[in-house]
Amino acid sequence: MGISGAWLISARGFELGIVDVPNDRSSHNRIVPKGGGIGILAAFVFCGLYLNLPFSFWFSGFVLSIVSFLGDKRHIYPKLRLFIHFLCCLIFLVNFVYLNNANILIYCLVLPLSIFVVGTVNFYNFMDGINGIAGISGVVAFSLLAFFGSYRNVGSEYVMLCNAITFACIGFLPFNFPKAKVFMGDIGSVLLGFSFGSLVVIVSKDLTSFICAAAFLFPFYADELITMVVRIKNGDDLTVPHRRHVYQLLANELGIPHWKVSLCYGLVQFIVGVCAIIVVPCGLVPLIFVLLVFFLLSILFSAIVRMRAKFLIKTQVTG
């Protein structure tokens, strides 16, 4: 389904008027059809129905994707979009807690978990800015989730869903990597963010397993959080689109080919994920220590890249 969706949009995107026109924030310089993630959505909905997954889960993901698809066609106010994100995530999480016969104390976790899932939705969307990065990260993240879910004896239906999303991302990648014939669009990146955040909650049985599963998307979380801190420090408006993520600086200011940046992010993601799985039996403290080391390395790498990019920009201006 990932293949068919990407092929359909790449072949008919211009006719349907679903295209991405480059601007000063873009990391590409030509018009490309977008919305190729519709095949990933089709796989997600099919699995939701075939595997008899909770309606609140797969339908929430479907609504988020459709709203995002409409957002690719016409402007949707950020506050309205964020409200819809929170509403869908709350519906899923309240029903998830209810179906698991949780006590009243567990309901207190619904709000912070909603913030986590909504944050993941938006982080994944923000990080989908160069060829291959969203698809490769999807392959790594959901394959690790499938393995971890099997290891933790989570329901086989969720393991199958993770595998289905993995293969849908693999099917999409030839149309987007190394050269983009089609972009995933918000319909795909938002769905992948929602699916990942929700499945992290589903496969987690305690705080340690939750942190371990979330680490499967480590480069996205690290890049986004570090960039947010840098922008706040610079007094930037966080609601204004930009291209100051590390991956964007690498691809644009430093001129590194998209495919190299995307593969490196996927490799780091895999290494961190495997390390988290290896360390998780040792307990919460060793896991946090390992992830903290990786995060400090990310901060150092971010600082180096930003200094290099600033130097190159200054050189071009003065030259």
The pLDDT of residue 25 is: 66
The two structure tokens encoding residue 108: 């207190």
Which of 83-87, 124-128, 295-299 tops mean pLDDT?
295-299
- Alpha carbon 261 to its chain centroid, in Å, reads 16
Q: Where are the alpha helices (DSSP H) in 18-127?
A: 38-50, 55-73, 78-99, 104-107, 110-127
Tell me the pLDDT band of 7, cut-offs 50, 70 and 90. low
Does residue 10 register a pLDDT over 80? no
- Alpha carbon 195 to its chain centroid, in Å, reads 9
The pLDDT of residue 216 is: 98
Residues 200-223: pLDDT tens digits? 999 998 999 999 999 999 999 999
Residues in the chain: 319
Residues 119-154: pLDDT tens digits? 999 999 999 889 999 999 999 999 999 999 998 888
Tell me the pLDDT band of 5, cut-offs 50, 70 and 90. confident
Catalogue the long-range contacts made by 207-210 (C-beta closer than 8 Å, 24 or more residues apart).
207/284, 208/280, 208/283, 208/284, 208/287, 209/148, 209/152, 209/280
The pLDDT of residue 154 is: 83
pTM of the model: 0.93
d(CA 10, CA 12): 6
CA atoms within 13 A on the CB side of 98: 9
The pLDDT of residue 319 is: 53
Tell me the pLDDT band of 190, cut-offs 50, 70 and 90. very high
| 129-153 core/surface letters (b: 16 or more CB in 10 A; e: else) | bbbbbbbbbbbbbbbbbbbbbeeee
Q: What is the DSSP string of 166-225?
A: HHHHHHHGGGTSSS-SSB--HHHHHHHHHHHHHHHHHH-SSHHHHHHHHGGGHHHHHHHH
